[in-house]
Structure 1
Amino acid sequence: MAFIQQTLCMFVLSLYGQIASGLINGTAITNGQFAAHVILSLPNGKTCGGEVIDSAHILTASTCIFNEYNELLSPNVVTVSGKWNLTASTLTPQLIDLNVAAIYAHPQYDPYSKENDIAVLRLATDLPLEAGILQPSMSKADLTTRIVADSTSCLLAGLDSNDSSSELSYTRLPIFNRIECNQNEEYTFEIKDKMICAGTTTSDSLICEADIGSGLYCNGNLTGILSFGAGCGNTYPGVFTQVRMYNHWIRQQLRRSDIPRAGPTPPPSNNRSSGSHKRFGILLLIVTTALLSNLLEHDIGSSN
């Protein structure tokens, strides 16, 4: 439970405007909870979450670091402001500015189906995670390697939608069965093997757009990265990228020395056309079946 044993770290990028609303009816985070959680503010007032995975890297969703034209953002448009408690005897935070040096989006990220919705940000300045530099210090998230059982109670932190001061809150979300999630009218055929659902269908969702990229913690480990949902305050579970499916890819990004160029990126092999063709095929089958049924009924009626 390292992520709730260290001081709260909150990143706020305030360069591009107001932060969008976040968790609804969340519980206020106390000092020492969710030390790996960060907040990213992006161009045009867009806000996302993220999780510290080592002193130089943040894990978030690829959705957060592409613009409305599905072009990769340049790292130089991102300035990170971090607040830490410098001593154990005071709760007054000090502000530290950090820049992003490189953005590594998953090469198979599909902005339409949200498959492989995961990205790593490299900071230009290392975070002070070492013990003794800041007291209490920040901590990194522990990445899960195991499957999490359905109904497991997990935690999601994010901006408090009712707090104008950009404070954080958290909520409990149970793991929702993937098959049942896929049968939901909002998510039919959209939940892939590398995704998990968390939440319920019996109460208003606590998840909003500003929480995209935030980490889902199950059994104390970072289990999912929030990818998408069905709006804000609706009775649908949130959909998360499964971190355990990407542990090897994440480790590869930590060793990279290149800096990807901003702008258009090659479309993934599993792009929108593939998903559209599948959905069209299903629709065509339904229509064909209905037409054949009507013709059969008509023939039977005629013969009588």
Structure 2
Amino acid sequence: MNYTILSFIYSERNPFMSNLYVSYMWYNILSTIYLNQGVFYDQFSDFLFISRWTINMDRLITSSFLYILLVFSSRVLCADPTVWGKYPGVVAIAVSSLNKACVGHIINNQHVVTAAQCVLDEDTFQVLNVFWFKVTAGDIKLFEPTQYRAERNISNIFPHELYNPQTNENDIAILRLDAPFSLPHNTIEPVILNSRIVKTSTTCDFVGWKIDQQRQSEQQSTPMLVYDRDFCNSQQYPGRIFESVMCGQLQMADDLPVVNYGGGLYCNSELTGLLTIPQNGTSTPSVFTQIRFYRKWIQNQIYRVDVPTRRRSPVTKI
């Protein structure tokens, strides 16, 4: 029977049944929402199952709303799975010889930007073999391929020639794909590069990949507050915060999807930074390479026609 009709009958004949019906309706609606979102569904169900037999039904409805607000508030501060089309420029980068999870961002149909540390050997700092890379785009769940997925290999790697692994300065690199993405595409799209200064205390989104114990991986975004660079340089990272980097603090210590090097800081939906130093609990914020300082450098790499020699290293002195 239609919910509206039932609500009218119950409210006219029995106020108790009216309250019971309203609480049951909220239970159905909210349990459906939170089941789909994967958020504390069992706890929510147990709460309402017990509360439905409470004598004071008005308190039940009030408690239900308070519970809803509590759960919703906690979700606002935590990592959330992204939805289709929100970050179509974010890709996963798999490197068979690297002990890191890396993220890239589509610059155009044949180039991806990421962190330099994602393309260099961790001991020798030489550029890794292009055959060890796989770029996955178009999906928001890595272990659940869809018809929108596009995978590419790499033909060339261009790390920044002045990358410093000790200070993480110039931690940026360009990957050239062996075949271009077919654009326009439903779930693949180049990012917009930020060219403006982002004010301190601005809330941006950090986008990366979360991998749980069941090996289920999905793209997630997490609110991140932009920190004052001078404070970050004097307190958390003395002498390591250059003008070309920026700091950001997650709202909660456990929010970081996983240590995604090259993960993107998106401010106003524009790629603003690449993760170079991950946040350490609540004591030290994350550090990002500022994209606006490298826009010209990125364009220069895109138009390069030379083929760099293999086993080279941009690091001249350690």
**TM-score (ref. length: structure 2):** 0.68
Alignment map for 1:1-304 (pairs within 5 Å): 25-42=78-95, 43-69=97-123, 70-83=125-138, 92-130=146-184, 134=185, 136-162=186-212, 164-185=215-236, 187-199=237-249, 203-204=252-253, 206-207=255-256, 210-231=259-280, 233-268=281-316, 272=318
- Secondary structure in 2 aligned to 1:263? coil
- Residue 166 of structure 1 and its aligned partner are, at CA, apart by 1.4
- Residue 93 of structure 1 and its aligned partner are, at CA, apart by 3.2
- Residue 260 of structure 1 and its aligned partner are, at CA, apart by 1.8
Change (3 A) 1:75 1:30: same
Change (3 A) 1:218 1:55: same
RMSD: 2.4
- Partner Cα distance (2:131, 2:217) in 1: 23
- Secondary structure in 1 aligned to 2:246? strand
- Supply the AA of the counterpart residue of 2:265: L
Larger radius of gyration: 2
- Residue 97 of structure 1 and its aligned partner are, at CA, apart by 3.1
- Partner Cα distance (2:314, 2:228) in 1: 33
- Deviation digits for residues 63-99 of structure 1, max 9, x if unmatched? 11111121111212113344459xxxxx943543311
Change (3 A) 1:203 1:94: closer
Aligned partner of 1:299 in structure 2 is: none
- Deviation digits for residues 277-300 of structure 1, max 9, x if unmatched? xxxxxxxxxxxxxxxxxxxxxxxx
- Which structure exhibits the higher relative contact order, with contacts defined as CA atoms closer than 8 Å and separated by 6 or more residues? 1
- Partner Cα distance (2:146, 2:244) in 1: 41
Provide structure 1 residue ranges, at least 5 long, that are not aligned to the other structure: 1-23, 86-90, 273-304
- Secondary structure in 2 aligned to 1:222? strand
- Partner Cα distance (1:103, 1:92) in 2: 28
Q: Is the helix fraction higher in 1 or 2?
A: 2
**TM-score (ref. length: structure 1):** 0.71
Contact 2:113/2:172, CA 8 A, preserved across alignment: yes
Change (3 A) 1:266 1:220: closer
- Partner Cα distance (1:190, 1:76) in 2: 33
Change (3 A) 1:169 1:102: same
Contact 1:49/1:210, CA 8 A, preserved across alignment: no
- Residue 205 of structure 1 and its aligned partner are, at CA, apart by 5.5
- Paired-residue identity, %: 30
- Supply the AA of the counterpart residue of 1:128: S
Off by >6 Å, runs of 4+ in structure 1:
none
- Secondary structure in 1 aligned to 2:208? strand
- Deviation digits for residues 194-232 of structure 1, max 9, x if unmatched? 1000115x741633763110111112211111111254x
Aligned partner of 1:10 in structure 2 is: none
- Supply the AA of the counterpart residue of 1:35: P
- Partner Cα distance (2:254, 2:308) in 1: 36
Contact 1:205/1:237, CA 8 A, preserved across alignment: no
Contact 1:154/1:216, CA 8 A, preserved across alignment: yes
Aligned partner of 1:287 in structure 2 is: none
Provide structure 2 residue ranges, at least 5 long, that are not aligned to the other structure: 1-76
Contact 2:209/2:257, CA 8 A, preserved across alignment: no
- Partner Cα distance (1:116, 1:171) in 2: 24
- Partner Cα distance (2:157, 2:229) in 1: 30
